[in-house]
């Protein structure tokens, strides 16, 4: 997916979340979302970016998924029993969702926050702030050691919200995608395919498998006996380090490419190589999932691309030609010399960076950094107590 707005469609929070929440005399009740919440949620989560949002397509998948929890926030009654009111003084119906968010596990140690949406009627009342506190409680219940989320570099509100709860910038990426001409911010994304659409995902996975089979036949997939050498080369790579060692294992989410995940890519024939691990100047590595899970987009993307000089462009070009369609990949926005040297070759090959960058914010979940509490102790009620989530198998 190319992305519909400079803020980035994977952003965590709404654009106008305030730095400090206004006074609110009713508690936010956060519970698991239910199927009968759909109509109310779609009223405020269908047109976030110029009349578009991925939440309608994600909804059934997120409700059923076991690797995460889809949360709905409702307005409780005030202490005196009065009906809760929105920012304009209108009554909010009992148990009607006014915000949603999702917490997922990417691995046993890594939690991910995504899809937060707040009804415009209650923005400015601290709803996003308290909802993020609830999200962190769910992440902690799964014994994750770190939690991350993605947001656009220009989404100041999302950065402020995260900073309130200990999130810091971990890495900044820019999406590169093959185009016949350089893209602009005004370009429509008519070529995107939703990864929440089963048919689109099936078509994309078929292309992925064709690419990997061809690369395997050409000897371009890493073999188990080479794993140690390639891992050592990757660990020393400035491009990989500039991206904090992260890879896109599920569309629009990133996680740590540790040795266990690296070995899984090797064992399943999903680690693409170029050159020799002993080479200093002419080598590249990339990951490509054969079966992408339901996610925000189904387009063929390399989950990680690293290496030296023109080898990066050469590997990406080979994958694009085998795919017979545009492909994309994320690269660190702060370019080390080896990546700067690859830029002319990437541009010449038809790959162009998007005008905006995506920030990855992270926060450890450790006893040394206690979980945040809501500004008002009675302002947040956990309608469902957090329980451990199930990490994905791959």
CATH number at residue 32: 3.40.630.30
Same domain for 200 and 339, yes or no, is yes
Q: Is residue 332 part of a domain?
A: yes
Task: Give the CA radius of gyration of the chain.
Answer: 22
Residue span of the structural domain in which 192 resides = 175-360
Please check whether residues 43 and 147 belong to one and the same domain: yes
Residue 156 shares a structural domain with residue 193 = no
Query: CA–CA separation, 54 vs 9, rounded Å?
Result: 8
Instruction: Give the helix ranges, DSSP H, for the chain.
Output: 38-42, 55-64, 127-141, 156-164, 198-217, 227-235, 238-242, 259-267, 310-323, 337-348
Q: How far apart are CA 301 and CA 316, in angstroms?
A: 10
**What total number of domains does the chain contain?**
2
- 151, 230: one domain: no
Same domain, 50 and 118: yes
Contact 180, 350 (CB under 8 A): yes
Q: CA 52 to CA 42: how far, in whole Å?
A: 11
Question: Could you tell me if 112 and 198 lie in one domain?
Answer: no
In a domain, residue 11? The reply is: no
Structure tokens at 95: 């148990």
Residue 147 φ/ψ, nearest 5 degrees: -130, 140
Q: Are residues 87 and 119 in the same domain?
A: yes
Would you say residue 10 lies in a domain? no
CA 107 to chain CA mean position, Å: 14
CA dist 8 and 303 (Å) reads 18
Nearest CA to 37 out of 85, 75, 72, 61 is that of 72
Q: Does residue 313 sit in the same domain as residue 350?
A: yes
Count, residues in the chain: 394
Tens of pLDDT along the chain (394 residues) come to 334 443 333 444 444 444 444 579 999 999 999 999 999 999 999 999 888 999 999 999 999 999 999 999 999 999 999 999 999 999 999 999 999 999 999 999 999 999 999 999 999 999 999 999 999 999 999 999 999 999 999 999 999 999 999 999 999 999 999 987 766 665 544 456 889 999 999 999 999 999 999 999 999 999 999 999 999 999 999 999 999 999 999 999 999 999 999 999 999 999 999 999 988 789 999 999 999 999 988 899 999 999 988 999 999 999 999 999 999 999 999 888 888 889 999 999 999 999 999 999 999 998 788 999 998 989 999 999 999 999 987 5
Q: Which of 58, 62, 61, 67 is nearest to 393 (CA)?
A: 67
Helix axes 227-235, 259-267, angle to 10 degrees: 140
Residue 230 lies in a domain: yes
Residues 162 and 249 in one domain: no
């Amino acid at each position: 997916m190319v992305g519909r707005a400079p803020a980035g469609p994977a952003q965590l929070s709404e654009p106008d979340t305030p730095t400090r929440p206004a006074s609110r005399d009713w508690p936010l009740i956060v519970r698991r979302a239910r199927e009968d919440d759909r109509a109310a949620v779609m009223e405020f989560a269908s047109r976030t970016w110029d009349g578009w949002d991925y939440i309608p397509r994600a909804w059934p998948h997120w409700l059923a998924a076991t690797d995460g929890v889809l949360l709905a926030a409702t307005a409780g009654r005030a202490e005196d029993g009065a009906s809760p009111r929105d920012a304009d003084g209108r009554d909010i119906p009992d148990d009607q969702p006014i915000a949603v968010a999702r917490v997922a596990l990417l691995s046993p140690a890594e939690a991910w926050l995504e899809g937060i949406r707040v009804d415009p009627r209650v923005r400015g009342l601290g709803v996003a702030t308290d909802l993020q506190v609830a999200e962190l409680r769910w992440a902690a219940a799964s014994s994750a050691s770190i939690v991350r989320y993605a947001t656009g570099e220009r989404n100041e509100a999302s950065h402020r919200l995260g900073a309130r709860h200990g999130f810091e910038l971990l890495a900044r990426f820019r999406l590169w995608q093959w185009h016949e001409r350089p893209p602009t911010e005004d370009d429509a994304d008519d070529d995107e395919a939703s990864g929440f659409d089963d048919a689109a995902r099936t078509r994309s996975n078929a292309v992925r498998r064709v690419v990997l089979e061809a690369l395997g036949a050409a000897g371009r997939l890493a073999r188990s006996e080479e794993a140690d050498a390639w891992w050592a080369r990757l660990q020393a790579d400035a491009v990989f380090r500039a991206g904090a060692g992260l890879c896109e294992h599920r569309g629009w989410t990133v996680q740590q490419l540790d040795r266990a995940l690296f070995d899984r890519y090797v064992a399943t024939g999903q680690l693409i190589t170029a050159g020799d691990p002993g080479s200093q100047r002419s080598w590249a590595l990339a990951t490509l999932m054969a079966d992408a899970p339901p996610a925000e987009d189904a387009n063929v993307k390399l989950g990680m691309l690293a290496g030296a000089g023109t080898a990066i462009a050469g590997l990406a070009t080979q994958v694009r030609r085998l795919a017979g369609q545009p492909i994309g990949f994320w690269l660190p926005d702060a370019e080390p010399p080896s990546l700067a040297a690859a830029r002319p070759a990437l541009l010449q090959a038809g790959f162009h960076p998007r005008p905006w960058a995506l920030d990855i914010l992270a926060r450890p979940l450790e006893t040394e950094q206690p979980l945040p509490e809501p500004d008002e102790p009675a302002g947040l009620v956990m309608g469902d107590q957090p329980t451990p989530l199930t990490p994905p198998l791959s």
